[in-house]
Amino acid sequence: MARQDKQSLDYGAEVKKLRQEGPRRVYLLRGEEDYLRDSFLGELRAICLPEGTEAFNYHRLQGPGLDIGALRESVEAMPFMGEHTLTEVRDFDVNRTSAYDGETLKAFLADVPEWATVAFVFAPGYAPDSRLGSVKAMKSAGADLAFTSPGEAALVRWVIRRAESLDKTIDPATANYLIWVCGTKMNGLIPEMVKIAGYAGEKAITRADIDAVAKKAPETTIFDLTDALGAGDYDKAARLLADLLADKDEPPQKQIAMVSEQFRRLYFARLAADSGKGTAFITACVPELTGRSYPLQLLQKACRRFSADRLARAVCFCAQCDYAMKDTGGEPEALMKELILRLAADRA
């Protein structure tokens, strides 16, 4: 699971503000939840470009090698057959702007025409460097919106509505389970829900339907793998490892990082259980679990399969694997296999 911004964005409040107050002159649209990012961009287009005006007043530029002069030209173009223009800039690598372009960009952003809106749209995983003067200028000129997961309750409600749009029903507990299995990314949930709804014979989607056809998120498979190690079910652990290594969408380097993160979570949860500190301690150490009751409950149960000492050693094994991969040039897939073998062999 990706770490979220310290304060989650209230998507509904931002849309309401846009509709009531009109568009800002500059937007930074970023964050891991690209479904919400693109939904907000659709709202922005609807406000800036009433029907029949998009062909005249919409401009799109593509990074990373953005020409600041071309940007200025498109933004300063007067609207035609409408009152507003929208310039959409995709994947501009602002972190690599030259000193000259950075100063030019700062001067331009301070003087965006009142009829214009420029939206810088960044891919998930890209983080503008807030230390740079050009990034500071972008943020001070308008709205910096980092789209994160809407939170467990809101996401469950969204899953229920999506099921209804597919002529199915799903109860909140099953919706939570679906999110756990398939991940929190809304663009990832949509095709899985279409597949599950097509498979489900009855009106209501069940856990059995999800288990039958849904593709598990890598984080969920990692959880099942570590849980199998804790339970001593090494045949299951081996099958899950094979599934992970067969998934070409997730390279072994990332899988090693996810195993490491999962053992850190388990260690924090075990320490909390042993010291009686409860969930507050866990979410302080693992902030991405804040407000996510279902995976938090599973983590608290899973940590009891390990002793605190075994988890401490597991964290060390993961760190050693990471070092071998990054500093000695070890082959990631072989290192992943070796790591799981070491974790399985340490049963004390």
Chunk the chain into consecutive blocks of 10 residues (it has 348) and report each block's average pLDDT, rounded to whole numbers.
55 94 95 95 95 92 86 92 94 88 88 94 92 90 91 93 96 96 94 96 93 94 96 95 89 93 96 92 89 91 96 96 84 94 90
What is the model's pLDDT at position 83? 93
What is the model's pLDDT at position 257? 94
- State the Cα–Cα distance between residues 52 and 206, nearest whole angstrom: 45
Q: Is the peptide bond before 172 cis (omega within 30 degrees of 0)?
A: no
Query: Count of alpha carbons within 13 Å of 89, Cβ hemisphere only?
Result: 22
Sign of the dihedral through C-alpha 273, 274, 277, 280: negative
Q: How many other C-beta atoms are found inside a 10 Å radius of the C-beta of residue 99?
A: 9
329: three-class secondary structure by DSSP: coil
- Domains in the chain (CATH in brackets) are 11-146 (3.40.50.300), 152-213 (1.10.8.60), 218-345 (1.20.272.10)
What is the model's pLDDT at position 7? 58
What is the model's pLDDT at position 239? 95
DSSP conformational letter for 5: P
DSSP conformational letter for 4: P
pTM: 0.82
Taking alpha carbons only, the member of 299, 330, 332 closest to residue 226 is: 299
Among left, alpha and beta (phi > 0; psi -120 to 50; other), residue 278 is left
